[in-house]
Amino acid sequence: MSLPEWAAFAPSALDHKMGLELIEVSATRTVGRMPVQGNTQPFGYWHGGASCVLAETLASLSAFAEVGPSGVVFGIDINATHHRSIRDGWVNGVATALFVGGRLGTWEVVLSNDAGERLCTARVTCALQRPSRRDT
């Protein structure tokens, strides 16, 4: 699947530093991954904060796809449950829209290892600021 043109400019400096690779971006589903290497805690395991960064980034990009390039999104809530650890390879994430309304959207983000085993389940809620009619 090809990425929307704006997606090439969407990842932040933090996303670049963490090695984010985007695979698919839409309002209902966004897919990406990050390497474990460089994103570990002091004991060599994937850092739980990295899970939150990946989850919020994927959900926020889906939210941005919903409101469009003239809109604005803000992450307002994140909850992450860590199921298992990982020491190498990639952490793959899929953000799936659970609810998208006028001003709020919530995405479930499932993070897994290369074998497809679930590492983390996150829920991210974003505020959606759609462009006003005079802005379009």
- Whichever domain contains 124, its CATH number is 3.10.129.10
How do beta strands 104-112 and 118-129 pair? antiparallel
Q: Residue 10: pLDDT above 70?
A: no
What is the pLDDT of the chain when averaged over all its residues?
A: 92
Q: Name the 3-class secondary structure at 59.
A: helix
Question: Which pTM does this prediction carry?
Answer: 0.91
Distance CA 90, CA 113 (A): 6
The candidate with the shortest Cα–Cα distance to 40, out of 50, 28, 55, 32, is 50
Residue span of the structural domain in which 16 resides? 5-135
Quote the number of domains for the chain: 1
The residues carrying an active-site annotation are 56
